[in-house]
Amino acid sequence: MRKVIYCLNVSLDGFIEDANGSLDWSNPDEELHRFFNEQEREFDFQLYGRRIYENMAAHWTTAHTNPSAPAHEIEYARIWQSIPKIVFSKTLQQVGENARLVRDNIAEEVSALKAQPGKDMVVCCAGLAASFMQLDLIDEYRPIIHPVVLGGGKPMFPALDKIISLRLIETRRFESGVVLLRYQRTDQT
């Protein structure tokens, strides 16, 4: 059975964007970018909301054609392009190549995907992850914590009406001071 994994870059104080909506503070070095490349190969699907999908598609659809891009970014672009995407949006009219638009029935859609054999899925945005948390669809949390305090912005986690108990299953420290934490729900093995 596939798992849904929530994985995002986050500041030490819990924000995924700064107060101006910028992600510039989370610019990965080569080591971290290569880790992202490895991690993306673990997924059968990327699950997006409209805004982050549009931002990712605007860059990574053609990033491999940039002659000045480093090899690890070209590799990421090719990996990103190869992974099927499911975009959950009520306002988006169409999605690009290797993507499918879903407007309704988030729980049914994700539950059906989880029941199929295959590799795991990654949810790539906080808004969609908040809905998934309310629907009890996330199996693993992977915050990638950057050594920066933003003091405000968009939080990684929403206010919840219940506690989600987790157990730590892995930590990894990068030379830049970034730390990956992997948590699994305690009700799963």
For the chain, how many structural domains are there in total? 1
Nearest to 74 by CA among 60, 84, 58: 60
- pLDDT digit string, tens, across residues 51-71: 999 998 898 999 899 989 999
pLDDT of residue 59: 87
178: domain CATH number is: 3.40.430.10
The list of the chain residues with pLDDT below 70 reads: 189
C-beta separation of 115 from 100 below 8 A: no
Range of the domain at 177: 4-185
pLDDT of residue 169: 97
Tokens of 175: 């030379």
Q: Kind and range of the H or E element at 115?
A: helix 106-115
Q: Rounded to whole angstroms, how far apart are CA atoms 61 and 45?
A: 16
Q: Rounded to whole angstroms, how far apart are CA atoms 122 and 3?
A: 8
pLDDT of residue 189: 57
Residue the block writes with tokens 């605007």: 58
Residue the block writes with tokens 């420290």: 173
